[in-house]
Structure 1
Amino acid sequence: MKIEDTTNSFTETLILIANFFPHLKDDFFVKKLRTKMAILMRGYIKFRSWEDSADVAQYYIAEKLISDTDAILELLEVINHLRVIKETTPLLLANQSLLALKLEFVKIKNNLSVNLEKKDNNVSAVASKSDNKNQASIINAVVSQKNILQKRELNPNKEKILNFIKKSPNARTKDIIHEFNALSDRTVKRNLGELLRVGLINKKIENKAVYYSAKF
């Protein structure tokens, strides 16, 4: 799947969410939903404008879009749970469309991941034929590029969690959840999972407890 293939799904999702707004009378949730939709739209525009960029850049933008879509899905889940609206059909349609859009982003991310793996293998093959100094330079350049892109795409919550883990090596899951009690347990765990996927933290399990430490 290519980036341009998501246009129809993205447009359909915007229309369904626009149709959902008139049913949402609570000003607090209206503002929250508009803010999260604006973030998703900016991310998608960036996604399309970077079509010809390196796979590593597109990969982390796709991952950010998945995270932004999850944030809207979580908000819709809260709205549904609190029964903020009486007519649930528009909410369910918007939720279904967002899930389909997220699936398309995941497919693109997975395709990019395969491309990156092939390129990393090629880099390793070239490096193995070079002397130690050249090998270190190539590896450091790849790692540096990935680290810059990883940190650039961190949302505020992930950045705060990462900084907390840096200051508290071997922090347990429950310690992190307690520190960020303004966020739901699900949101904290999702952010931890994304930090693991992009390679910014390590995870260790001992005696049924999960510990996290920063890589950099």
Structure 2
Amino acid sequence: MEEEHLKNFINSTIFLVKLFVGLKDKFLSQKLYDKISGLIAGYVGLFVLKGERAESGNASHNLRFIELKNYIDSLLELLDYLEHSKIVPISPLLYARRNLLDFKLSLIKLHQYKSVSSVSKPKENKPIIFVSKNVQPRNLKESSNKERILNFIKKSPNSRTKEIIYEFSILSNRTVKRNLKELLDEGFIKKISKDNAVYYNCK
């Protein structure tokens, strides 16, 4: 996964530099130069210097992630402006945009993966208490929130409520909890209580 975002970062930088070289307007070329510099500085701050800043913790990492994402967004806005003004060749612009979007996507995926994997897993020393109802599963409506939550639990067994809420942050906490309760009542998942925490697994 890290190789993917590195490749997208390099490709984005190459196409952005091609755009910069072909840009005749001094104001826009300075603006593009500043944004490319910000992108590179953000990348270095997030990935290259992470070993040196390990003591700064997760909050600092999240801030650097947000900074880098903001640099990408501002570059995408500038690319939109350049496209509409038609003062640069369209091919490198489209390649730069595509690679920037790919880079942003891989960056978000990597950030979510690291956030979810950093959540502590249950300790193995206390007994597990199963809490579930003996109900036969029914069919779910295609592409419903419950189905998405169920698929997430299938992919990530022993999911905690907060992990599920984080994964489906577009939904309200209340909606996620209601869907979990309905999945439990309908017999699709089972609830495990351990160490004052609740985990969900598929049946």
Task: Classify the secondary structure of the residue corresponding to 1:104.
Answer: helix
Check whether the contact 1:24–1:30 (CA below 8 A) recurs between aligned residues: yes
Check whether the contact 1:59–1:112 (CA below 8 A) recurs between aligned residues: no
Task: Classify the secondary structure of the residue corresponding to 1:50.
Answer: coil
TM-score, normalisation: structure 1: 0.49
What does residue 63 of structure 2 align with?
Answer: 60
The amino acid of 2:94's aligned partner reads: L
Check whether the contact 1:17–1:94 (CA below 8 A) recurs between aligned residues: yes
**Where in structure 1 do 4 or more consecutive aligned residues deviate above 3 Å?**
none
Cα distance in 1 for partners of 2:117, 2:62 equals 10
The amino acid of 1:71's aligned partner reads: S
Cα distance in 1 for partners of 2:63, 2:106 equals 15
Check whether the contact 2:23–2:29 (CA below 8 A) recurs between aligned residues: yes
Instruction: Give 1:112's match in structure 2, choosing from 111, 114, 122.
Output: 114
> Does 2:81 correspond to 1:78?
yes
Q: Which has the larger radius of gyration?
A: 2
TM-score, normalisation: structure 2: 0.52
- Give aligned-pair identity as a percent: 28
Cα distance in 2 for partners of 1:115, 1:56 equals 16
Check whether the contact 2:5–2:106 (CA below 8 A) recurs between aligned residues: yes
Cα distance in 2 for partners of 1:10, 1:29 equals 22
Q: CA deviation at 1:5?
A: 4.9
Structure-to-structure mapping, 1:14-29, within 5 angstroms? 14-29=13-28
Cα distance in 2 for partners of 1:107, 1:62 equals 12
Check whether the contact 1:36–1:71 (CA below 8 A) recurs between aligned residues: yes
Q: Which has the higher helix share?
A: 1
RMSD: 2.3
Cα distance in 2 for partners of 1:90, 1:14 equals 11
Name which structure has the greater RCO, CA cutoff 8 Å, separation 6+. Answer: 2
Task: Classify the secondary structure of the residue corresponding to 1:101.
Answer: helix
Structure-to-structure mapping, 1:1-216, within 5 angstroms? 1-2=1-2, 5-48=4-47, 49-51=49-51, 53=54, 54-85=57-88, 87-116=89-118, 118-119=119-120
Count of residues paired in the alignment: 119
